Copies of this chain bind each other. A is one copy, B any other.
């Protein structure tokens, strides 16, 4: 039996507050370099979300909340009503940074809805407290997901995951990775199969980085190898995260999740989604109501994605031509970022309140 403390020495927090300063892991530098950057104002928080220094549902929520906290810290006027108005306006600006992540608006609303607006000072104090609450509670939630989800994992299980719903997508511990880390803590020796996750390769870069940090055995495959892996009985269980969950249990997650779930059903392999309640959008009745973000065709058509370019540029590896084309010049590409997995394909959703049938997820609205 290993301890959480041991895990903490290997796996750093993705978003942290130290002496009232906000730090995040710069994910565009991974897996090459682990570096923390300080966010000094809310504009930097927005930029960090937009430029993918941070990504992943919970982490985006936390950085959004950090942004609002930083905005409050830098507010020096005396009118408490003006202050609340300013925070609401700034909150709306932050929410626009990425459309699909439900946790972003949830986190901003949590900070604003729980304000003590009796004075400017108390507004500041309560914003900080609410932000700290989110950091603390979301990690506790993920530990609970780990506790529930770990029971699904037998010794030496081969667990397949898509994209990164790991510690890097959260404040710490992750959602899809929570059962894996909990199983590892109990010496169950999980073996992780990682979809590389085109076009951004979050699997190859981020999930693989986490597993390597912790010392969990893993193997990377192309996304479309999942059929072969399952037909050869090389997968025991699948656990993925979620970017947004509709009231009926349909799940929006990284593109490729839906084919994975359908294949799992064909091969009778359990398919779980791990997510905190803040990922559920009760205003979305079904998956059809979830707007799917589309990104630039260049991420598919050019040799390096925007992310890789940034990464390489930061490393000052000037030897890469960022415009090197894969496809013939002038080609069109279609680049949706998420797809919708219907509730019927999901064995269950692992939440902080327990393992819940997808179609019963509506009952968590309390």
Contacts and interface: CB of A to CB of B under 8 A. Distances in A.
Interface string A293-327: 00001001101100010000000010111001111
B255 A209 contact: no
Given A198-B196, A222-B198, A228-B258, A205 B327 contact: yes
Interface string A199-222: 101001100110010000011111
B259 A224 contact: yes
A264 to B, nearest CB: 11
Contacts of A196: 198, 300, 326-327
B220 A332 contact: yes
A292 B201 CA distance: 25
Contact of A328 (B208, B260, B325): B208
A219 B333 contact: yes
A84 to B, nearest CB: 41
A204 B300 contact: yes
Interface string A220-235: 1111111111010000
Q: For chain A, give the interface size range.
A: 35 or more
B256 A224 contact: yes
Nearest to A304: B303
Interface of A: 31-32, 193, 195-196, 198-199, 201, 204-205, 208-209, 212, 218-229, 231, 255-256, 258-260, 262-263, 266, 292, 297, 300-301, 303-304, 308, 317, 319-321, 324-328, 330-336, 338-340
Q: Which 10 A-B pairs have CB atoms at the shortest separation, nearest pair first?
A: A224-B256, A227-B258, A223-B224, A228-B339, A31-B328, A227-B259, A204-B327, A198-B222, A220-B333, A219-B332
A31 B324 CA distance: 12
Question: A292, A320, A326: which has the most chain B beta carbons within 10 Å?
Answer: A326
Contacts of A208: 327-328, 331
Contacts of A205: 326-327
A231 B339 contact: yes
A153 B324 CA distance: 35
Given A262-B262, A263-B262, A328-B208, A334 B300 contact: no
B259 A209 contact: no
B339 A220 contact: no
Contact of A227 (B256, B266, B335): B256
Of listed A31, A198, A328, residue having the most chain B CB within 10 A: A328
10 contacts: A208-B328, A219-B334, A220-B297, A220-B301, A220-B333, A229-B334, A259-B259, A262-B262, A262-B263, A303-B308
A112 B317 CA distance: 54
